[in-house]
Amino acid sequence: MITAVKIDEVDLAILKELGRDGRQSFRDIAEKLTVSEGTVYNRVNKLREQEVIKSFIANIDYSKLGYDLTAIIGIRAKGGKLQEIEKRVAAEKNVTAVYDVTGEYDALVVAKFPDRDALNKLVKKLTALDDVERTYTMVVLNVIKEAHGINIEVD
């Protein structure tokens, strides 16, 4: 089990600012929060060391790059080989998320594609894996919300 990291109101405010715009300078964040730039720098470093902040990434609209098709693929594994399957699937270039889940399937995969042919190739590749019992593919019709952040609060 993962132990939750304790953060305070300043950490939370910094995280919210970085979540809103990860390219902001520490100086800009410090001015907004009325703390010193050094405080922001030190807090961000601490949050990175604690792996609260894993990386700084761009929020890309993949549909504008031709990746208009999003699929959610359920995978049922056999023979206790789920972790091996998940590692192989996670390495696929179109895969954006792999979740180890409960329920009818052992893993859920989210992937983006330029067309149905690319989706078809990945699904066939997955079903060809020795320890994959079966897959179930759902195609996303409309994206209502797609965000990687949530509104966090300090206890």
Q: Are residues 78 and 39 in the same domain?
A: no
Q: Where are the alpha helices (H) located in the chain, listed in sequence order?
A: 9-20, 26-33, 37-49, 82-90, 116-127
Q: 95: which residues sit within 8 A by CB, 6+ positions away?
A: 89, 109, 110, 111, 122
The CATH number of residue 30's host domain is 1.10.10.10
At residue 138, does pLDDT exceed 90? yes
- Tokens representing residue 142 in the block: 């409309």
Instruction: Please state the separation of Cα 134 from the chain's center in Å.
Output: 24
At residue 114, does pLDDT exceed 90? yes
Q: Are residues 17 and 42 in the same domain?
A: yes
Q: Are residues 127 and 95 in the same domain?
A: yes
At residue 155, does pLDDT exceed 70? no
Rounded average pLDDT over 141-147: 91
Q: Are residues 45 and 68 in the same domain?
A: no
At residue 129, does pLDDT exceed 70? yes
The CATH number of residue 128's host domain is 3.30.70.920
- Global pTM reads 0.84
Q: Are residues 66 and 28 in the same domain?
A: no
- Tokens representing residue 19 in the block: 């979540």
At residue 1, does pLDDT exceed 70? no
At residue 148, does pLDDT exceed 90? no
Number of domains in the chain: 2
Name the band, by pLDDT with cuts 50, 70 and 90, for residue 52.
very high
Q: Are residues 133 and 89 in the same domain?
A: yes
Question: Which domain, by its residues, includes 130?
Answer: 62-139
The mean predicted confidence, pLDDT, of the chain is 93
Q: Are residues 43 and 96 in the same domain?
A: no
Rounded average pLDDT over 84-89: 95
Q: Are residues 14 and 72 in the same domain?
A: no
Q: Is residue 152 part of a domain?
A: no
Q: Are residues 128 and 66 in the same domain?
A: yes
**CA–CA separation, 106 and 134 (whole Å):** 10
Name the band, by pLDDT with cuts 50, 70 and 90, for residue 147.
confident
Q: Is residue 80 part of a domain?
A: yes
Query: What share of the chain has pLDDT > 90, as a percent?
Result: 80
At residue 101, does pLDDT exceed 90? yes
Name the band, by pLDDT with cuts 50, 70 and 90, for residue 43.
very high
